[in-house]
Amino acid sequence: MYSLDYDISFQHNGRKFQLYMLDSVEIESDAMILADSAKIVLPEAVLNQVLNINDRIGRGAEVNIKLGYDGNLQNEFTGFVQDITTNDSSLTILCEDALFLFRVPVKDELLVNTNVSKICQSLLDQVNPEYTLVCDYDIGYEKFTINRAEAYDVLKKLQSETKANIYFKTEEKELHVHFPYSERDGEVKYAFDRNIESSSLEYKKAIDRKVEITVEKIDKDGKITTVKSGTPGGEKFNIKVGEMKASDIQKIADAELIKRSADKYEGSFKGWLIPVCRPTYSADIVDLDYPEKDGRYYVSAVATSFSSAGGVRTIKTGIKLS
């Protein structure tokens, strides 16, 4: 029998604060969105005494969450406190990963003949030079405008236009930019008869989904450049992009096609804290009842919940890798 265990600590104004009481923790991590987040819920009062932590934990405090069983803990979240709220006899600490640091204004710029790497590196240099850029998906721009924007706004625009996976690894102080589904950070094994508690997975075959992606670029002279990817006559999806280099638009069409048309499991399944599973992992899934669905799938998102009721991971899979 495993016993639940945790270690949650904060660093604020040079002081460390450790939590010794806890109602629940919820952590959301997704390779397809910019930020991981965590919600820590505490009892508002202990032994009829109001729990006052505002003098020890404030906005911007560093937070580290480790969870596990019997002292065998894994780091689940590193980030910063966004807000502390009280409601219904509980106290909630809302946290965000390193994106929190990038919700600050950056200088206005008109960048000519640039690319994603140069733009992201400029953000890091302005906001926090301690962070390193890891980028293998370098879309080029003929022109990129930054006007009255936070670093967050720029990253959001890049993600929207290029369809890249953009996210932070806060503990390593890294900003990652990748072609969708290309990064592989670990491997994990699941079987429906062993370590999958429940499932809403639905297997989708690429052969059953005909998709046609159209990407349009309009340059400063009003000229329209169009590229397509997929099956003519299939379900149509249109994407409009900024002043990118024409040679790179095809990459965006191909990235969107992979998202929408590859063999994949749609939905999610629930497991426990063991095994450890993170977005960008490759999950080997075994189904004894339907062996044709066996394979290796990309883990796109993991939601981890922890309370006296237990530790549960809700895992969302993406495309079939093999």
Domain spans in the chain, listed from the N-terminal domain onward: 4-96, 102-178, 186-204+264-270+278-320, 207-261
The per-residue pLDDT for 46 is 53
pTM of the predicted protein model: 0.92
Percentage with pLDDT > 90 across the chain:
61
The per-residue pLDDT for 48 is 44
Q: List, in sequence order, every residue forming a beta bridge with 190; answer none if it has no partner.
A: 285
Q: Is 150 exposed, middle or buried (0-12, 13-18, 19+ CB in 10 A)?
A: middle
* The residue to which tokens 């505490």 are assigned: 42
What is the pLDDT of the chain when averaged over all its residues?
A: 90
Averaged pLDDT for residues 24-50 = 83
Q: How is residue 132 written in tokens?
A: 């390193």
The per-residue pLDDT for 56 is 75
Radius of gyration of the CA atoms of the chain, in A: 22
Per-residue pLDDT tens digits for 256-278: 888 888 888 889 999 999 999 99
Q: Please report which confidence band the pLDDT of residue 44 belongs to, taking 50, 70 and 90 as the band edges.
A: low
Q: If you average pLDDT over each of 45-54, 134-143, 235-244, which comes out highest?
A: 134-143
Q: Please report which confidence band the pLDDT of residue 316 belongs to, taking 50, 70 and 90 as the band edges.
A: very high
Rounded to 5°, the CA angle 117-31-274 comes to 135
DSSP 177-222: EE-TT----EEEEEETTTT--EE--EEE-GGG--EEEEEEEE-TT-
- Amino acid, single-letter form, for residue 292: E
Q: Is pLDDT at 49 greater than 70 in this prediction?
A: no
Residues in the chain: 322
Per-residue pLDDT tens digits for 209-242: 788 999 998 777 778 888 899 889 888 999 888 8
Higher pLDDT, 177 or 55: 177
Q: Cα–Cα distance between 292 and 282 in angstroms, integer?
A: 18
Higher pLDDT, 90 or 309: 309
Multiple choice CATH, 102-178, 3.55.50.10, 3.40.50.300, 3.90.1150.200, 3.90.1150.10: 3.55.50.10
* SS3 state at 255: helix
Q: Is pLDDT at 176 greater than 70 in this prediction?
A: yes
Element (H, E) at 277: none
Task: Spell out a b/e string for 30-56, using b for 16 or more CB atoms within 10 Å of the CB, else e.
Answer: bbbbbbbbbebbbebeeeeeeeebeee
Please list the helix, strand and coil fractions of the chain in percent, rounded to the nearest 5, in that order: 15, 50, 35
**Distance of alpha carbon 187 from its chain centroid, rounded?**
17
